[in-house]
Amino acid sequence: MIEIKYFPYNPFEENTYLLINEKRDCIIIDPGCYFEEERKELLEYIEKEGLNVTRLLNTHCHLDHIFGNRLIAKTFNVGLEIHKLEQPVLDRSPQAGAMYNVPFEPSPMPARYMEEGEKITLGAYELEVLLTPGHSPGSVSFYCAQEQFVIAGDVLFYQSIGRTDLPGGHHQTLLNSIRQKLFVLPDAVKVYPGHGPATTIGFEKLHNPFLK
């Protein structure tokens, strides 16, 4: 079984995810730790739980999802992985930090680019990379069929969807991503979003006002 631990971090209340298997191997997705106490909390949790951090993944590269990239990459000697279409967003992130008055340690450049359809392994488990653009050009979601969950970044939220007014965002593209990549998953699949509480595919099909 995969244990999913998340921490709401930074002024944007972004969800930082740790996926942990039985052997205590751990994938970190979107480390948003910004304040010193957040960074300390995350590192202490990893140490206390005896986790072996094996990968650093970003669903997308808006600044609230990458504040902790350099910390994680340096501390655990892991390379950043993003989709190549997200590179321009990563390149703009220092300017975004200045614009929002949240200066931060720049993210390292990616060690590799993830491809749509590839499988990210965590021991016996696999996460399929789904390309789900619209909120940003190279947003990806991570779907685990064995455990029936998807880490969806800022694509789909509890009764909401990602904003599309930032550079590279596109409203219709986002709706298409949700309908064609996420709503085709089983209704029971649990959705872990980049902000706010978890939901399910079935619930959002019925109740999400943006997708009626």
CATH of the domain at 149: 3.60.15.10
Here the tokens at position 205 are 């099909």
d(CA 111, CA 37) in angstroms, rounded, equals 28
Sequence-distant (6+) residues with CB within 8 A of 103 are 97
d(CA 163, CA 4) in angstroms, rounded, equals 25
Residues 187 and 180 sit within 8 Å (Cβ to Cβ): no
Q: What is the pLDDT along the chain (212 residues), one digit of tens a residue?
A: 999 999 999 999 999 999 999 999 999 999 999 999 999 999 999 999 999 999 999 999 999 999 999 999 999 999 999 999 999 999 999 999 999 999 999 999 999 999 999 999 999 999 999 999 999 999 999 999 999 999 999 999 999 999 999 999 999 999 999 999 999 999 999 999 999 999 999 999 999 999 98
Here the tokens at position 34 are 């910004």
Look at residues 137, 142, 128 and name the one whose alpha carbon lies nearest to residue 173.
Answer: 137
Rounded (to 5) percent helix, strand, coil in the chain: 30, 30, 40
d(CA 72, CA 54) in angstroms, rounded, equals 11
In terms of residue numbers, what domain contains 59? 3-211
Please report which helix (H) or strand (E) contains residue 91, including its range.
helix 87-99
d(CA 209, CA 204) in angstroms, rounded, equals 9
Here the tokens at position 122 are 């965590």
Look at residues 204, 206, 104, 109 and name the one whose alpha carbon lies nearest to residue 152.
Answer: 204
Give the chain's domain count: 1
